[in-house]
Amino acid sequence: MNDMTTKVPYIPEDAPFSGEQKTWLGGFLAGLHSRLVAGGGAAAPAAEATDVKYLDILFGTQTGNAESVTEDAAALAKTKGFTPRLAEMDDVSMEQLATMKNLIVVVSTYGEGEMPDNAHIFWDALSASTAPRLENLTYGVLALGDTSYDEFCQAGKLVDTRLEQLGAKRLGARVDCDVDFEDAAEAWIAATIPDAGSVSAAAPAAEAPPKKEKSGWGRKNPYLSTMLDNHVVSGAKSAKEIRHIAFDLGNSGMTYEAGDALGVMPVNAPDLVQAWLDRLGAGAETDISGQQLGDLLTTSLEIMAPSRDLIRAIEPLAKNDELSHIVGNGDKEALEHYLWSKDALDLLNLNPELALDPAQVISWLKPLQHRAYSISSSSKAHPGEVHLTVAAVRWMYENRPHSGVCSTFLADHVPEGAIAGIFMSPNKSFRVPEDDSVPMIMVGPGTGVAPFRAFLEERRERAASGVNWLFFGDQHRASDFIYEDEISAFSASGLLTRLDLAFSRDQAEKVYVQHRMVENGKDLFAQLEEGGYFYVCGDATRMARDVDGALHHIIETQGGMSSEAAIEYVNRLKRDKRYVRDVY
C-alpha cells in the first residue's frame, strides 16, 4: 500500500464475541498492526492471551505533518503497553468514537481557522447536537498551526473544547505548536501518553520504538541539491512567469511518490536585505546576540510577510491613522485588505523618521520557513530527479519592487548548476489510485496542473488502463497553456483520455474549470459512478470552493438527488479517499 498508516478495525468492549474470541482477535490484529506500522510485511503470529489496551490515535492533516507526529506517538504508545490504532479523523464515526477509552488527536489548522480536508466530516458530526456523550473517554489534543494566522491552531482548540463538553477527561493539557513543531510535539507525546498498566503481547513494554526509515533530510537539515533545469514555460505575452524546475537527487537517498510535495529552503533577496539594513541604519556585520545582522536577515528571518508581533509593535510607533484604526477595531478583514501588496519593510517605512533598534526589530520577526511545492514529476519517469512547476511572484508597491520569497529565489538566484536546500514532504492522501483500471478526474488550472503532470506520467509508466480526464485552464491559451506540448502528446497517445480547457479571457464571458465541469456533468457523474477518483489542486480561496460547489451541483442534478443526499454522496467520496485536494 502507498499509505503507511495502518487502520485497525475497532473491537468495542461490547462487541458480540466471547472473551476468548476477543482475546484472540485483539492479539491477532495487534500483531498485524505492530508489524505493519513498523514497516513489516506479513503479520506476526497471534500472541497468547493478554489484556489488550488500545490507544486510538487520530490525525487531521493537510500536508502530512500531523500524520508524521501520530506515527511517532504510536511507536511510543507500544512501549507503554498500549496497542495503538491509527486513523484519519474522517475515517471514524461517532459510534466508533463512543466505544473508545483512550484517545490522542493530532490536528493541524488549515487556512484561517479551518479543519483540514480529512477532518471535516468528523468535526461536523462531533459538533452536532446528536454527538454522543463521552464520559468514559480520556483524551489529549496536540494542535499544529502557524502564528502568522489570527486563528492560530483553531482546529485543535475546537476539538479539545468539544470533547470536554461531551464529558471526556483530558490526559493532559493541549499544546499549540507553531511551524517549528517537532520538539514541542515530541515533548507533548512523552508527557501525555500514560502507562497502560499492562503489557501488550504485540509490543512488550521494554521494546524500543521502531525507527522509521527516513532519508535524514528535512527542514532543519535540507539536502543541498543541484539545479538541473530552470526555464520559463509560460508564453512571452503572459501576465505570469511560470517556470519548470528540476533538481538532482544525487546520492541523497530521497524518494518520493506522485502527489508528494518538495520543501525548498529559500534565501532572502540581496536587494531586500540591503533595504532592511539601510532602514535599520546598521551594517551587515552588526552583532546581534553573537550573530551578524546581515546573515540573520539573509538566511534566518522572514522579512517579507509582516508577523503579528511586528504589526502590534509597529502600530503605535508608525503614527499612521489608518493602521491604528484597523488594529484598534480588531477588524481582521480590513487588516488583510490594508496589508495587501505591503511587506514588512513597508510597515517600517510608514514613519521614515522613526529610529529603530535593530535588536528590537529582529525580536519581532519569525524564522524564515521553507516553502512546499507540489511535485510535478513521477520518479518512475525521471529517476534521480524531482520536478516543480513554480509561478514567480512579483509586484510593484510605492515604486519599490516586491517579490515572493521562494519563487523568485528559485527564478533569480538558482540557475542551472547552482545549489539549493530541499527535502521531501510526503502527502500520503494525495495519490494515484492503486487500482490502475479506475477513472481519474483531475482539476488543476494554472500551476495546479503540477501534480497531474506527475499523475499522468505515473499512469503511463504503470501502463494503467483507467480513464484519465484533465480539466485545465488559465487566462489565455496562446500564452498560458503550460506544458501544452506534453499534454497534447498525452492526448495523442491515448494516455489522456479526455481534456477540457477553460481559458477565461479568450472570450467576452469568463469561463473557468468549474463551468467546464458543469457542461460535462453527465459524463463526470458517470465516471464517479464507475468508481472514479476526483482530484483538485490549486487556489483554495476561490477555485477550490467553486469546484466543490460545481461537484455538488453535478451530483444533485445528474444523480437526481436532494442537496442533503448530494452532501452525503460527496462525504462518502471523501471517506473512500476518492475526493482529495491539494490546495493552498
Task: Let me know: does 313 contact 323? Beta carbons within 8 Å.
Answer: no
3-state secondary structure of 124: helix
- Does 80 reside within a domain? yes
Same-domain pairing of 346 and 254: no
Output the pLDDT for position 149.
Answer: 82
- Does 218 reside within a domain? no
Same-domain pairing of 353 and 324: yes
Same-domain pairing of 354 and 307: yes
CATH code, 419: 2.40.30.10
Please identify, among 379, 395, 425, the residue that sits at the C-terminal boundary of a domain.
425
Same-domain pairing of 238 and 386: yes
Output the pLDDT for position 197.
Answer: 58
> What is the DSSP-derived secondary structure letter of residue 281?
T
Same-domain pairing of 31 and 156: yes
Same-domain pairing of 576 and 563: yes
Please identify, among 153, 169, 192, the residue that sits at the C-terminal boundary of a domain.
192
Distance spanning both ends of the chain, measured CA to CA: 27
Give me the number of domains the chain comprises: 4
- Does 200 reside within a domain? no
| Grid cell locating 512 | 473557468
CATH code, 462: 3.40.50.80
Please identify, among 317, 343, 363, the residue that sits at the C-terminal boundary of a domain.
363
Query: Which residue, among 158, 73, 74, 70, has the nearest Cα to 110 in the 3D structure?
Result: 158
Query: Which residue, among 405, 178, 183, 184, has the nearest Cα to 309 in the 3D structure?
Result: 178
Output the pLDDT for position 215.
Answer: 58
Same-domain pairing of 162 and 101: yes
Interaxial angle between packed helices 543-559 and 521-529, expressed in degrees from 0 to 180 and rounded to the nearest 10: 80
Q: Within the chain, which residues score under 50 in pLDDT?
A: 1-49, 198-213
Cα–Cα distances in Å, from 131 out to 125, 126, 169, 241, 306? 6, 5, 16, 49, 40
Cα–Cα distances in Å, from 135 out to 10, 104, 493, 507? 19, 16, 60, 60
Same-domain pairing of 404 and 551: no
Domain that includes residue 310, residue range: 270-363
- Does 374 reside within a domain? yes
Same-domain pairing of 294 and 350: yes
- Does 203 reside within a domain? no
Distance from C-alpha of 555 to C-alpha of 395, rounded to nearest angstrom: 40
CATH code, 137: 3.40.50.360
Half-sphere exposure of 397 (CA within 13 A, CB side): 15
Output the pLDDT for position 112.
Answer: 76
Task: Kindly provide the residue ranges of all beta strands, DSSP E only, lying in 180-240, ordered along the sequence.
Answer: 223-232
Distance from C-alpha of 82 to C-alpha of 33, rounded to nearest angstrom: 12
Same-domain pairing of 402 and 470: no
Output the pLDDT for position 214.
Answer: 53
Query: Which residue, among 230, 211, 216, has the nearest Cα to 423 in the 3D structure?
Result: 216
- Does 14 reside within a domain? no
- Does 211 reside within a domain? no
Residues with Cβ within 8 Å of 456's Cβ and at least 6 positions away in sequence, in order, are 468, 470, 490, 495, 496
Task: Let me know: does 92 contact 58? Beta carbons within 8 Å.
Answer: yes
3-state secondary structure of 224: strand
- Does 309 reside within a domain? yes
Output the pLDDT for position 63.
Answer: 82
Q: Buried b vs exposed e over 485-510: b needs ≥16 C-beta within 10 Å?
A: eebeebeeeeebebebbbbbebeeee
Task: Kindly provide the residue ranges of all beta strands, DSSP E only, lying in 138-202, ordered along the sequence.
Answer: 138-144, 169-170, 175-177
CATH code, 315: 1.20.990
Same-domain pairing of 256 and 349: no
Same-domain pairing of 45 and 87: yes
